[in-house]
Amino acid sequence: MASLKVESPADIYIPDVPRLLFSSPCFERRGEPGVAAFDLSYHKNTAAQGWASMRQRQAWHPLHLMADNIAIPSTVLDFPTPEEFHRELEQGYDAVCITFGAVSTGMLAKMIRHIRRTSPHIPIVVGGYGTDLLDKSDDPLVREIRESVDEICRGEGVSFLKDFVARRFGISHDSPFRQDLPLQEFGFGGLPWAISKGLVLVSALGCKNQCQFCSTSHHFQGRKTSLSSPISLCETLVGQLASHPKSADVLVYDEDFLADRDAAMELARLFGAQPTLGARNVRLTVFASIRSLQQYTIDELSALRIGMVFIGIESLTGLASVDGCARAKRGLEDPAALFQRLHAAGIHTMASVIGGWDGQSPDELEWEAKRFTALNPTLYQVMPLTALPGTPLWDKHKEDGRFDSDNSWRHPEIWGHRLQSWIDSTNRMLVEEGGPWFFRMAANHLEAVQSKLPVRLRSDNEKRLSALEPLALASGFFFRGSGFRNRWKRFTKRRFRSYPIQSLVRMAFGVLLCAGLWLSHQVVGRIRAMVGATDVPRSVRTPYPGTRAAT
């Protein structure tokens, strides 16, 4: 679905002022497979939950960061169709910047061919993790791209684009780094609208852990580049909360947000001086390793307003370490104890496990699935080991002859087909053990409410529990699994013991709501199948006026 054209100063043509076009890869809206990487909640984090699966829609945030921090007007296209991209190009731009991943290489080549055919003199800049492929492969299509573009942005993009604008157009500026990123949207799979929206902040790029399969770490050569100091991150958050009064959930991009304890505690001190954060019950979703998490008490994590932590478990058997996942990343704390500690404080977990390590037997895969399920993560990702260009794992598999000419970059998940049954069964086990996401969250909040946490934290958790409780109380009528049923019975008894009438009313309302969501999921699914709709997010066009500090 095309977005409505927005009139703004960036849409007004100003003679002699250059303009840039930023675009994600183009996507068709029909006849194209779903794009799992751009809807994480549905395809990964809440897999096998059927009508309860969440949808998550995000913009290509790096494009918006660059557009918002350069001196000249620009336009950002998120998920355009080829036709939308062609029409936008006709508006007259002085350079085109496209970000891509390895799987988008074919579409990138088509976009470049169109630009060269219709606007042969416009400079083309490409960036993103896909650029690692340009250095690693001599595939004819990859070689065509490498020889057709004018510049390649490797690594951090804002500084690169500032330099590009200064070199190409003689326009420079020294404005401080700013970010006002599009909100991420969440909703149920059967509903066409979002049920909540969250803020997005970028704290740092890159990672020092250098796991052998990780594009992020190796794309930035094992370095971590901070984009925001604690004070600037705090000020940006407060400003964004003022601009978006209905949002209280914040996703912070930083591959190991808690690695630097001194910086984190300074941020906690700054947060403590901001009454807005407490009044809004603000909660951050962050990425952190076990090694980093073990540095903090629950009180310290709460002072940082941590509401959810993404933890890369990868393997509980130690095979990840053998295959190059940094041992130091794991730390000393037992994962089961850590998850229990976090959940008891109302802090949710999002965890990942990977199958397909060298030498991993079917018995080891089954044992891995059982141990991971026992952690009962709030959200989860079960994935095949993926060798992506730019990583040592990809280099090793290429040297070992595991790739052929057809899948060396188009299909890096060389274990995906063989492991699909394991992935599906593990996802089912997770739901049978812990139920749907809203029950998992409600159970965590209830533990916090009935704990010895400070009054403020118990109050914050009570508010979030109230919002989820109707669905959580009703979930036992719609989901099965002995582990989940036992958890649901304990949850229900505790709530009815404390609030019998209120809980009964909420349960009845929740049953009606769940039934409506199930029906919507069925109807929308059939309609989408009839019209050939795909899972590609809607296209959005966002103009930017350029900074005012140009010289």
Judge if 159 and 245 occupy the same domain: no
* DSSP structure string for 296-335: --HHHHHHTTEEEEEEEEE-SSSHHHHTT--GGGT-SS-H
Q: Which of 401-405, 456-460, 505-509 has the lowest mean pLDDT?
A: 401-405
Judge if 133 and 221 occupy the same domain: no
Quickly tell me which residue has 């990343």 as its tokens: 329
Domain boundary among the residues 375, 408, 436 is at 436
pLDDT tens-digit map of 67-77: 999 999 999 99
* DSSP structure string for 463-484: HHHHHHHHHHHHGGGT---HHH
pLDDT at 427 over 60: yes
Bridge-based pairing state of the strands 204-206 and 224-226: antiparallel
Judge if 432 and 283 occupy the same domain: yes
Backbone φ/ψ region at 193: left (φ over 0), alpha (ψ -120 to 50), beta:
beta
> In degrees rounded to 5, what are phi and psi of residue 14?
-115, 120
Distance (Å, whole) CA 46 – CA 430? 10
Per-residue pLDDT, 10 = 46
CATH code for the domain of 92: 3.40.50.2300
Query: Taking all residues of the chain, what is their mean pLDDT, rounded to a whole number?
Result: 88
Per-residue pLDDT, 508 = 98
Per-residue pLDDT, 267 = 97
Judge if 407 and 289 occupy the same domain: yes
pLDDT tens-digit map of 276-314: 888 889 999 999 999 999 999 999 999 999 999 999 998
pLDDT at 445 over 50: yes
Q: Is residue 208 part of a domain?
A: yes
Domain boundary among the residues 402, 436, 470 is at 436
Judge if 173 and 210 occupy the same domain: no
Judge if 122 and 201 occupy the same domain: no
Q: Is residue 463 part of a domain?
A: no
Q: Tell me whether residue 545 is exposed, middle or buried, using C-beta atoms within 10 angstroms of its C-beta: 0 to 12, 13 to 18, 19 or more.
A: middle
pLDDT tens-digit map of 234-277: 999 999 999 999 999 999 999 999 999 999 999 999 999 998 88
pLDDT at 15 over 70: no
Judge if 350 and 307 occupy the same domain: yes
Q: Is residue 318 part of a domain?
A: yes
pLDDT tens-digit map of 308-354: 999 999 888 766 555 556 555 677 778 999 999 999 999 999 999 99
The CA radius of gyration of the chain, in Å to the nearest whole number, is 24
Distance (Å, whole) CA 2 – CA 159? 31
Distance (Å, whole) CA 195 – CA 193? 7
Assess contact for 80 and 539: CB atoms under 8 A. Answer: yes
User: Which whole number is the average pLDDT over 489-503?
Assistant: 96
Report percent pLDDT > 90 for the chain. 65
Q: Is residue 391 part of a domain?
A: yes
Assess contact for 6 and 544: CB atoms under 8 A. Answer: no
Bridge-based pairing state of the strands 249-253 and 283-287: parallel
What is the tally of structural domains in the chain?
2
Q: Is residue 185 part of a domain?
A: no
Per-residue pLDDT, 5 = 37
Per-residue pLDDT, 13 = 47
Cα 292 to the chain's mean position, in Å?
20
Q: What global pTM score does this model have?
A: 0.92
For the beta carbon of residue 318, count every other beta carbon within 10 angstroms: 12
CATH code for the domain of 260: 3.20.20.70
Judge if 67 and 168 occupy the same domain: yes
Bridge-based pairing state of the strands 196-202 and 204-206: unpaired
Q: Tell me whether residue 105 is exposed, middle or buried, using C-beta atoms within 10 angstroms of its C-beta: 0 to 12, 13 to 18, 19 or more.
A: buried
Question: Domain limits at 265?
Answer: 196-436
Structure tokens belonging to residue 261: 């304890």
421-440 in b/e burial notation, b at 16+ Cβ within 10 A? ebbeebbbbbbbbbbbbbbb
Judge if 147 and 215 occupy the same domain: no
pLDDT tens-digit map of 204-219: 999 888 888 888 888 8
Q: Is residue 446 part of a domain?
A: no
For the beta carbon of residue 81, count every other beta carbon within 10 angstroms: 18
- 97 pLDDT band (50/70/90 cuts)? very high
Distance (Å, whole) CA 292 – CA 255? 11
* DSSP structure string for 103-170: GGHHHHHHHHHHHHHH-TTS-EEEESTTHHHHHH---HHHHHHHHH-SEEE-S-HHHHHHHHHHHHHS
Residues facing 308 on adjacent strands: 285, 348
Domain boundary among the residues 403, 436, 469 is at 436
Bridge-based pairing state of the strands 20-23 and 74-78: parallel
Q: Is residue 106 part of a domain?
A: yes
pLDDT at 408 over 80: no
What DSSP element (H or E) covers 372?
Answer: helix 362-375
pLDDT at 548 over 60: no
Distance (Å, whole) CA 338 – CA 334? 6
pLDDT at 536 over 90: no
Q: Is residue 182 part of a domain?
A: no
- 549 pLDDT band (50/70/90 cuts)? very low
Judge if 216 and 116 occupy the same domain: no
Per-residue pLDDT, 242 = 94
Judge if 363 and 303 occupy the same domain: yes
Structure tokens belonging to residue 312: 């890369």
Judge if 120 and 211 occupy the same domain: no
